[in-house]
Amino acid sequence: MLPGALCGLDEPVPTTIRFVEVCVPLKTGPGSALFLFMTEDREHWDDYLQILSVIMKSVSADEASADEVPVDEVPADEVPEVPRGEGASRRP
C-alpha cells in the first residue's frame, strides 16, 4: 500500500511493485553492501533487471586492477538501453 498522504489522500492506495534486493558480503570484515531496486513499471521489468545485472557485475570487493575498464569508458553498444518515460530526455 502506498501511503495516501503521498497522493494527497487520507487512505492508503493499493499498488503493485516489483522488487529485487542483492546483498554483497564485504571482504574487509563483518557487514555487507545492500542494493535495492523497486518499481511500479512492470512493463519494463526485464529491461531494469538487465541494467541491474550490468551494475552488479561491476561490483567487487577487490581493488581495481590496471586492466579493468572504468564504467564511464564502457563502449556504448555494450550498455543496455534504459527505458524512458514520455518526454524524458536522452543523453547524447
- In angstroms, the Cα distances linking 1 to 14, 19, 59 are 5, 14, 32
Cell of 49: 533487471
Amino acid at 41: D
| pTM for this prediction | 0.54
Sign of the four-CA dihedral 45, 50, 53, 58: negative
Over its length of 92 residues, how does the chain's per-residue pLDDT go in tens digits? 788 888 788 998 888 889 999 988 877 778 888 899 999 899 999 999 999 998 888 887 666 666 666 666 767 777 666 666 554 444 43
